Amino acid sequence: MSIKSKLVDFFKRKDQVAEGGGEKAVAKQKAMGKLTARDRINALLDENSFFETDLFVKHACQDFNMDKKNLNADGVVTGTGTIFGLPVCVFAQDFTVAGGSLGLMHARKITKLMDHAISKGMPLIGINDSGGARIQEGVNSLAGYGEIFYRNTLASGVIPQISIILGPCAGGAVYSPALTDFVFVVDKISKMFITGPEVIKTVLGEEISMEDLGGARVQTDTTGNAHFFSNSELECFEQVRKLFLYIPWHNKKKADKIKTQPPQDKFDIEKVIPTDSKKPYDIRDVIRAISDDSDFFEIQEHWAQNIVIGFARFDGETVGIVGNQPLVMAGVLDVDSSDKAARFIRYCDAFNIPLLTLVDIPGYLPGVDQEHAGVIRHGAKILYSYSEATVPKITLILRKAYGGGYIAMCSRHLGADFVFAWPTAEIAVMGPEGAANIIFRNEINNSSDPEATRKQKVQEYSDKFANPYVAASNGHVDSVINPEETRDNILHALKVCANKKDTQIERKHGIAPF
Ligand code: HXC
Ligand 1 pocket mutation, candidates 28, 63, 101, 174, criterion most atoms within 8 A of CB: 101
Closest atom of ligand 1 to 134 CA is 9
Q: How many Å lie between the centroid of ligand 1 and the Cα of residue 135?
A: 8
Q: What is the mean pLDDT of residues 418-442?
A: 90
pLDDT at 415 over 90: yes
Model confidence at 435: pLDDT above 90: no
| Closest residue CA from atom 19 of ligand 1 | 99
pLDDT, position 205: 94
pLDDT in the model for residue 181: 98
For residue 114, the model assigns a pLDDT of: 98
Burial class (CB in 10 A: 0-12, 13-18, 19+), 6: exposed
Range(s) for CATH 3.90.226.10 in the chain? 3-243, 269-430+467-496
Least confident of 71-80, 139-148, 199-208, 438-447: 438-447
pLDDT-derived band at 410 (thresholds 50, 70, 90) equals: very high
Residue 159 falls in which region: left (phi positive, over 0), alpha (psi -120 to 50) or beta: beta
**Residue whose CA lies nearest to ligand 1 atom number 25:** 99
Pairing of strands 86-93, 124-130: parallel
Give the pLDDT score at 430: 83
* Residue 189 · residue 166 · CB < 8 Å: yes
Does the pLDDT value for residue 12 go beyond 90? yes
Cα 239 to ligand 1 centroid, rounded to whole Å: 29
Mean pLDDT of 411-422: 98
Residue among 191, 188, 210 at smallest CA distance from 201: 210
> How does residue 1 score in pLDDT terms, banded at 50, 70 and 90?
confident
User: How far is the C-alpha of 447 from the C-alpha of 414, rounded, in Å?
Assistant: 42
| pLDDT at residue 174, rounded to an integer | 95
Interval between CA 184 and ligand 1 midpoint (Å): 22
Segment 43-76, tens digit of pLDDT: 999 999 999 999 999 998 888 888 888 899 999 9
Q: What is the CATH number of domain 3-243?
A: 3.90.226.10
Residue type, 140: N
Average pLDDT of the residues in 450-464: 88
Tell me what pLDDT residue 514 has. 85
Report how far residue 190's alpha carbon sits from residue 212's, in angstroms, rounded to the nearest whole number.
11
Distance from the alpha carbon of residue 81 to the mean position of ligand 1, in angstroms? 29
> The whole model's pTM is what?
0.95
Mean pLDDT confidence for 489-504: 94
Three-state secondary-structure class, residue 468: coil
Question: In this model, does residue 225 exceed pLDDT 90?
Answer: yes
Q: Taking a C-beta distance cutoff of 8 angstroms, is the pair 362, 331 a contact?
A: yes
Cα 154 to ligand 1 centre (Å): 29
- Nearest atom of ligand 1 to the alpha carbon of 25: 48
8 Å CB contact between 224 and 300: yes
Q: Which residues, at least 6 apart from 151, have a Cβ–Cβ distance to it below 8 Å? A: 111, 114, 115, 118
Ligand 1 pocket mutation pick from 26, 69, 76, 135 by most atoms within 8 angstroms of CB: 135
On average, the pLDDT of the chain sits at 95
> Residue 22 pLDDT more than 90?
yes
Structural contact between residues 152 and 110, judged by C-beta atoms closer than 8 angstroms: no
Which residue has a Cα nearest atom 1 of ligand 1? 134
Q: Is 78 helix (H, G, I), strand (E, B) or coil?
A: strand
Instruction: Reply yes or no on domain 269-430+467-496 having CATH 3.90.226.10.
Output: yes
Query: What SS3 class is residue 119?
Result: helix
pLDDT, average across residues 408-420: 98
Q: Is the pLDDT of residue 355 over 90?
A: yes
Residue 502's pLDDT band (boundaries 50, 70, 90)?
confident
SS3 state of residue 391: coil
Three-state secondary structure string covering 9-28: HHHHHHHHHHCCCCHHHHHH
Q: Give percent helix, percent strand, percent coil of the chain, each to the nearest 5.
A: 45, 20, 35
Q: Does the pLDDT value for residue 342 go beyond 90?
A: yes
Query: Per residue in 231-285, pLDDT tens?
Result: 999 999 999 999 999 999 999 999 999 999 999 999 999 999 998 888 999 999 9
Sheet strands (E) in 373-495: 393-402, 418-421, 426-428, 479-480
Q: How close is the Cα of 472 to the center of ligand 1, in Å?
A: 62
Distance 17 CA to ligand 1 centre (A): 21
- Terminal CA-to-CA distance of the chain, rounded, Å? 61
Q: Are strands 182-186 and 161-170 parallel, antiparallel or unpaired?
A: parallel
pLDDT in tens, 173-213: 899 999 999 999 999 999 999 999 999 999 999 999 999 99
> Which ligand 1 atom is at minimum distance from the Cα of 98?
17
Cα-Cα-Cα-Cα torsion 16, 20, 23, 28, nearest 10 degrees, comes to 180
Distance 101 CA to ligand 1 centre (A): 6
User: Per-residue pLDDT averaged across 317-331, rounded?
Assistant: 97
Which residue's CA is the nearest one to ligand 1's atom 6?
99
pLDDT of residue 287: 98
Is pLDDT above 90 for 512? yes
Sign of CA dihedral 449, 452, 454, 460: negative
Q: Report helix, strand or coil for 104.
A: helix
What integer is the mean pLDDT of 160-185? 96
Q: Distance from CA of residue 442 to its chain's centroid?
A: 49
Query: Ligand 1 site: residues with CB under 6 angstroms?
Result: 98-99, 101, 131-135, 142, 145, 168, 170-173
